[in-house]
Structure 1
């Protein structure tokens, strides 16, 4: 099983203080292992929880920057916990923990606001790098990977017409085009080449889209592009 890629080669982890983290998993060994790995790399694990309800309470009490949430837990699962956590604190970043790289809950978790996924057999360096990345406000999965995951699980779900999503009316025609291309998994460099724009201009468009639509990161942009019909499952790469 191959873990999703985190930035960097895996041989080094960025220096400096890391985000404050809560780990929620019903397996004590998983929580302990992740805590030891992160703590050894200067990342502060401020709390742990064995189920979704406890995770919600710990996040409410501790206000961490990042929450590692197991998707499948007894009682309240990670999906419902993610929804409640992000409803109370949209600035919090949620990373879902899963045993399988194509979990059936991937689409629902991204739609609920998760910033990415980690397999439980992730390497120590990738775990630390991923937590640091999400703590800076970025998405953990590359847009193209996120798009493939969304395609697999969104194919059977009805999507509204673009006109049915009122927020899209706030976008300029160019911003709608950029959002559609984000949904197809294009990076800023690829967007710049395709649209014949500078990367600085592309970054400006992306930032304005995020602000107007209250999107956390590129993973959420991909989901919204599907939900609004700007991109349909099965659309070919450009």
Structure 2
């Protein structure tokens, strides 16, 4: 019986290539999505055997999709593809019961082995991730941030959404959004979606 697989990535060429690669290897790709929101909707409705998700996607990241699936007790096994090789990001994924974590630039070499292990209810972690060390990508220190802003990026590091942070701090979501905008400006980050999340993941060791 073929594995029923769902795939999601915001790069059309990569998504097309991934679908072709899986179908050539006798897997049944039953759906695809260009962002995290559509991915979560599909997984909730269909519950495929396996979902292969890009970590960085518009709307919701692969980790955020996995977090929602974990909270809703959805049985779909999730494999994350990413260019991030830092081991501490995997630790966050592990807490959400991610079944596999594969570097995107080595997907062709490793993905089939990953799927095989995951299909046996085992976990696959690329050796390339364990060999990497987190690299701080900016000289800007959290000391530039106010206590409230620092608290918020710590919540982000713990995987909380804007809504969850607002609820925890008993403030409106728009207040958290304003803080996030100020933090992004102070850290001189791109204004694209997930830029702050990526910075937090890469600098996690200096924000606590």
User: Partner of 2:124 in structure 1?
Assistant: 140
- Of the three residues 90, 109, 134, the one matched with 2:93 is 109
Residue by residue over 1:121-150, the C-alpha shift from the partner in whole angstroms, topping out at 9 and shown as x without a partner, is 2253532232232122110127xx59958x
1:152 and 1:110 mapped to 2: Cα distance?
Answer: 17
TM-score by length of structure 2 reads 0.57
User: Partner of 1:60 in structure 2?
Assistant: 44
**Partner SS, residue 106 of structure 2:** coil
Matched, 1:127 2:131: no
1:66 to 1:58, Cα distance in 2 relative to 1, 3 A:
same
1:53 to 1:103, Cα distance in 2 relative to 1, 3 A:
farther
Contact 1:23 / 1:48 at 8 angstroms: preserved in 2?
yes
1:75 and 1:135 mapped to 2: Cα distance?
Answer: 28
Matched, 1:51 2:32: no
**Partner SS, residue 121 of structure 2:** coil
- Give the root-mean-square deviation of aligned CA atoms: 3.2
Cα shift at 1:28:
1.1
User: Partner of 2:8 in structure 1?
Assistant: 24
- Listed as ranges, the gaps of 5+ residues in structure 2 are 136-153, 159-208
Residue by residue over 1:160-186, the C-alpha shift from the partner in whole angstroms, topping out at 9 and shown as x without a partner, is xxxxxxxxxxxxxxxxxxxxxxxxxxx
**Partner SS, residue 78 of structure 2:** strand
2:49 and 2:31 mapped to 1: Cα distance?
Answer: 12
User: Partner of 1:186 in structure 2?
Assistant: none
Cα shift at 1:105:
2.7
**Partner SS, residue 35 of structure 1:** helix
User: Partner of 1:211 in structure 2?
Assistant: none
1:125 and 1:18 mapped to 2: Cα distance?
Answer: 21
Cα shift at 1:90:
4.2
Cα shift at 1:36:
0.5
Residues paired across the two proteins, number: 138
- Listed as ranges, the gaps of 5+ residues in structure 1 are 1-16, 159-238
1:93 and 1:99 mapped to 2: Cα distance?
Answer: 20
Matched, 1:79 2:63: yes
1:146 and 1:124 mapped to 2: Cα distance?
Answer: 14
1:121 and 1:152 mapped to 2: Cα distance?
Answer: 18
